[in-house]
Amino acid sequence: MPYNKFEEYNMQVTDDVKTRYKHIINDLGEDTQREGLLKTPERAAKAMQFLTQGYDQDPVEILKGAMFKESYNEMVIVKDIELYSLCEHHILPFFGKAHIAYIPNGHIVGLSKLPRIVDVFARRLQVQERLTEQILDCINDTLQPQGVAVVIEAAHMCMMMRGVQKQNSTTTTSGFRGQFEKIETRNEFLKLIGK
């Protein structure tokens, strides 16, 4: 069976953004009628819609859709969650991994929902610090666990390709709520994710 790719785009937005990209490419000195660039404005418009689709998704509903009553009350960790986002300052990518832990308080959540929450917030124009807080607060406010921890490690193309041009730099952000504010719980989490 052949591969079928299915992506939905708002055609009005696609056409508007496509026109803007065409102007940008022209303003940069390129010829948008050149064979290799003929479809670039449309591709870029669709790519931008894909990379910012998090604005149209509700992370709270995603979590609530997979919450289950459970008496388990030990740490749950999902680590090495790939993330890709766009820096809101330069609209250049940053990418890396998120590590999430929570201690249930009567409810657990389907494990796949934690990476989905990362994607919802990452698929917006972002800064890593806010991304960390949004993931943390969403899980904390929705699940109301005994505690939540989030660590994000990412490389930023705005630091690697331009500006200071430091290709080997990474940025780590973290946030802790509830039981993870206690040093022993926090240290257990950090040890389990290899930090």
Active site residue 89: yes
User: Is residue 99 marked as binding?
Assistant: no
Point out the catalytic residue in the list 61, 70, 89, 167.
89
Alpha carbon distance 45, 23 (integer Å)? 12
Alpha carbon distance 165, 89 (integer Å)? 16
Point out the catalytic residue in the list 88, 129, 144, 181.
88
Closest Cα partner for 153 from 179, 182, 111, 190? 190
Active site residue 99: no
Closest Cα partner for 118 from 59, 42, 187, 38? 59
Active site residue 107: no
Point out the catalytic residue in the list 49, 87, 126, 146.
87
Do the bridges between strand 76-87 and strand 125-126 make them parallel or antiparallel, or are there none, so unpaired?
parallel
Point out the catalytic residue in the list 99, 138, 156, 179.
156
Active site residue 90: yes
Active site residue 12: no
Point out the catalytic residue in the list 53, 57, 90, 107.
90
Point out the catalytic residue in the list 49, 126, 128, 146.
128
Point out the catalytic residue in the list 42, 53, 133, 158.
158
Using CA atoms, how far residue 125 sits from 59, 84, 121, 156, 183, in Å, is 16, 11, 9, 13, 33
User: Is residue 23 marked as binding?
Assistant: no
User: Is residue 138 marked as binding?
Assistant: no
Helix (H) or strand (E) holding 122, with range, is helix 113-122
Closest Cα partner for 110 from 102, 120, 121? 102
Do the bridges between strand 76-87 and strand 107-109 make them parallel or antiparallel, or are there none, so unpaired?
unpaired
Summarize the annotated binding site as residue ranges.
87, 90, 158
Q: Which residues are annotated as a binding site for Zn(2+)?
A: 87, 90, 158
* Residues annotated catalytic, as ranges: 87-90, 128, 156, 158
